[in-house]
Structure 1
Amino acid sequence: MQELINELVEKANLSPEAAAKAVETTINFVKSKLPPFLSDKVEDLIAGKFDLGSMFGGFGGGSAAGDSPLDKLNDMFGDKK
């Protein structure tokens, strides 16, 4: 989270205190919009400690063609080469 705070200090010219409060407010807002099984992962995701793709089986990029949920959806509804 400190990385995000540092970005806000540098790029938005916020004080460290204001940046920390902005990050806290944003995290709480995002958590309130997610189901419980995801809301407790928000801080880990921001800190780079949690791989959201692994939770969804590599969503958006499986190890081989046809592995990911997006590939499966494409097979069902998408391009029928």
Structure 2
Amino acid sequence: MKDHSFYHYAMTVRGQKDDKGVLAEEIFDDLAFPKQESDFNALSDYIETEGGYSVSMSVFDDMYEDYQEWLKF
């Protein structure tokens, strides 16, 4: 099982031509993003309150589920 932060996973989907790719790009551009964080609640709170993200929270939710699966391999 991998031990990587959500930020690390997000960088693997940068460049995708969908909402997840857009979110990953916005995370990359956010210099204050908590790069070492992997906790869903902490990340969700940050994205909802601190970032000026253009995609809906459902995109983050889906991406976080993908992240959980990615960690298994």
- Class of the TM-score when normalised by the shorter of the 2 chains: under 0.3
Larger Rg: 1
Q: What's the TM-score, normalizing by structure 1?
A: 0.24
Higher relative contact order (CA 8 A, sep 6+): 2
